[in-house]
Amino acid sequence: MSYFENIKALPLKESPIIMGIETSCDETAVAIVKGGRQILSDVIISSATEHARFGGVVPEIASRGHTTAILEATKKALDDAKLKLQDIDAFAVTEGAGLLGALLVGVSFAKSLAFSTNKPLVPVSHIRGHIAASYLADTTLKPPFVTILASGGHTAIVAVDDYYKLNVLGSTIDDAVGEAFDKVARVLGLNYPGGPNVERLAKEGKNVVPLPKMLKNYVGGEYDFSYSGLKTAVINYVHTQEQKGLEVNKSDVANSFQHAAVDVLVEKAFMALKKTGYKTLAVSGGVGANGYLRDALVNAVRGKDIKLVIPEKRYCTDNGAMIAAEGYLQYKKGNFADLSLNAKAVVPLR
């Protein structure tokens, strides 16, 4: 029997131990999760500092970082969980979206582990992984709920109707919110990764710089976003001030941008809660690590009959545990790949 015929014939386990492997960007992340909810180990080796001086992720450096870190991350994940490779029931791996060369390292590595142990290979969408991080944050969480998906590559308000059905109510028509944070950081002379640095600077500033608001129906549908306009407004403001020989108060720019970028996420999430009637709001993706957003959500649900699920910051940004958590859902459906699995730069949000 071929590898794949063998795999398809295996009985599914009730509470499988799944290794999640994530290499879509600059984090080499390997985690082990039991039954989709219990994190047994979680290792992240980041090459972020190597990209900092280039102002953004350099794909070649990211790929090289993964090839040198992946074995160490996997061994540590097994050691921390006090498990052997043979104890793993399935290998879940991010197949996309992301940097192709970076993804390929994880995909080939996961294939070799699955083949050599004769265990299923479970392809996982990075975005679904981000959303699944909420199942780890609140182990009692069940759909339906609304999630704010806010990462470096995606921005959307998603109704998670059930574990498998994502209803995208609206999304960005141009830049993602994390991308806007990173670009504004550059204009303000801050290092990559921009988000946390803009947040730090914003703490010292005030919301006084006039920036356009993303009003309802400002773009496409009422749940859509446009971050390109906001980013351009910030760039124009900084350049105009400089041309006039006026000082730019960078903390005020950071604070005002953060307000404009984040307030609209909260506002549209609440519109979505009202529309769907769902009573739980979650947040997913790297921008979910933003303290101002987290505080704004806590304030917004106060006195309302809405449950809030905010994963720890570590589980908002890229990690292996979220891939294992989504891998569990796919495992339960028997969504396994054969050894021809390839990495995908783009995966539709559905």
Q: What does 89 interact with, of ligand KG4, Zn ion, none (CB < 5 to 8 A by kind)?
A: none
Q: What does 22 interact with, of Zn ion, ligand KG4, none (CB < 5 to 8 A by kind)?
A: none
For the chain, strand residue ranges (E) read 17-22, 27-34, 38-46, 90-96, 121-125, 145-150, 155-160, 166-171, 280-284, 307-309
Q: Is 317 in the site for ligand KG4 (CB under 6 A)?
A: yes
**3-state SS class at 241:** helix
What is the rounded CA–CA span in Å between residue 78 and residue 32? 8
By beta-carbon proximity to ligand KG4, the closer residue of 114 and 157 is 157
Q: Is 28 in the site for Zn ion (CB under 5 A)?
A: no
What is the rounded CA–CA span in Å between residue 196 and residue 186? 12
Rounded to a whole number of angstroms, the minimum distance from the CB of residue 107 to ligand KG4 is: 17
Q: What does 194 interact with, of ligand KG4, Zn ion, none (CB < 5 to 8 A by kind)?
A: ligand KG4
Q: Is 22 in the site for Zn ion (CB under 5 A)?
A: no
Q: What are phi and psi of 226, to 5 degrees?
A: -140, 110
Concatenated DSSP letters for 49-66? Answer: HHHHTTTS--HHHHHHHH
By beta-carbon proximity to ligand KG4, the closer residue of 26 and 89 is 26
| Residue from 28, 108, 147, 151 binding Zn ion (CB under 5 A) | 151
Rounded to a whole number of angstroms, the minimum distance from the CB of residue 3 to ligand KG4 is: 30
C-beta neighbour count of 307 within 10 angstroms: 15
By beta-carbon proximity to ligand KG4, the closer residue of 74 and 284 is 284
Q: In what order do the strands lie in the sheet with 280-284?
A: 166-171, 155-160, 145-150, 280-284, 307-309
Rounded to a whole number of angstroms, the minimum distance from the CB of residue 142 to ligand KG4 is: 23
Question: Do the Cβ atoms of 126 and 96 come closer than 8 Å?
Answer: yes
Q: What are phi and psi of 147, to 5 degrees?
A: -125, 145
| Residue from 89, 175, 199, 326 binding ligand KG4 (CB under 6 A) | 199
- Footprint of ligand KG4 on residues 130-149 (CB under 6 A)? 130
Q: Which stretch binds Zn ion (CB under 5 A): 151-159, 167-175, 254-262, 270-278?
A: 151-159
By beta-carbon proximity to ligand KG4, the closer residue of 229 and 286 is 286
Question: Do the Cβ atoms of 19 and 92 come closer than 8 Å?
Answer: yes
Report which of 333, 312, 320 is spatially closest to residue 81, judged by C-alpha positions: 320
271 to 310: interface string for ligand KG4, x by CB under 6 A: --------------xxx-xx--------------------
Concatenated DSSP letters for 252-313? Answer: HHHHHHHHHHHHHHHHHHHHHHHHH---EEEEESGGGG-HHHHHHHHHHHTTSS-EEE---H
Rounded to a whole number of angstroms, the minimum distance from the CB of residue 306 to ligand KG4 is: 23
Contact residues toward Zn ion (CB under 5 A) are 151, 318
Contact residues toward ligand KG4 (CB under 6 A) are 25, 130, 151-153, 178-179, 181-182, 193-196, 199, 285-287, 289-290, 317-318
